[in-house]
Amino acid sequence: MARLLIVFLSLTLVLCIDRTSAQMVTNSSTVGQIFTSEFTVNTRPDTVMIRLGNPDSLAKIMGFEYMGGVKRLAHVGDVIMMVPQKERYNDRDTGVIGLTYLKMRVELRLTFEPENGTYYFQDQWKFFPSAGNETRIIFTERYFEPASQSSAQITEQARLLKESLARLKAMAERK
């Protein structure tokens, strides 16, 4: 009986310790960059959104390679697999791009989550149609990772984003 009581008390203690440790929460900081750009394209928002929603076009715009997934980013939750092109990026982190917000002709948001889970970014495009066939676009990228980046790394990211936005503009304006 004493042995049974010791086993019972030991199990109770283990369960109490396990329950307490499962409730522990730690906090650490991330480092984030916010890149923004505002530009005008000579086409309607629908045309730009079609380009961004097409995985092949999106891959060309971003400098990535399309690896599979849905054939069209059309609904929140749609995902595609991508990997950065080796000639443009030092890191070749295969990951998932997901459509997180869509309001036709108004706004589109995508996130990139690499397989290794060490960083992520969200891209947001806001569309403002104007007179004629022009659309003003406000682009924002929110980039987060656990370590600080050097100014050279940040400058390189800004350069790559500028090239991507130029490819989007050229692709959207192509008839």
3-state class (DSSP) for residue 34: strand
Label residue 117 by pLDDT band (50, 70, 90): confident
User: How confident is the model over 31-57, as pLDDT tens digits?
Assistant: 889 999 999 999 999 999 999 999 999
CA distance 53 to 76: 11
Q: What DSSP line would sit under 77-89, residue for residue?
A: T-EEEEEE-TTT-
Does residue 64 lie within any of the structural domains?
yes
Domain that holds residue 44: 32-173
Does residue 4 lie within any of the structural domains?
no
Does residue 19 lie within any of the structural domains?
no
What's this model's pTM, rounded to 2 decimal places?
0.81
The CATH number that applies at residue 61 is 3.30.530.20
Does residue 43 lie within any of the structural domains?
yes
Average pLDDT over residues 127-151: 92
Does residue 10 lie within any of the structural domains?
no
User: How confident is the model over 86-106, as pLDDT tens digits?
Assistant: 666 666 788 999 999 999 999
Does residue 7 lie within any of the structural domains?
no
**Is residue 98 a contact partner of residue 120, using CB atoms and an 8 Å limit?**
no
Residue 83 CB: number of other CB atoms within 10 A? Answer: 18
Q: How many domains does the chain have?
A: 1
Q: Mean pLDDT check: name the lowest of 7-11, 60-64, 98-102, 103-107.
A: 7-11
Does residue 68 lie within any of the structural domains?
yes
Does residue 99 lie within any of the structural domains?
yes
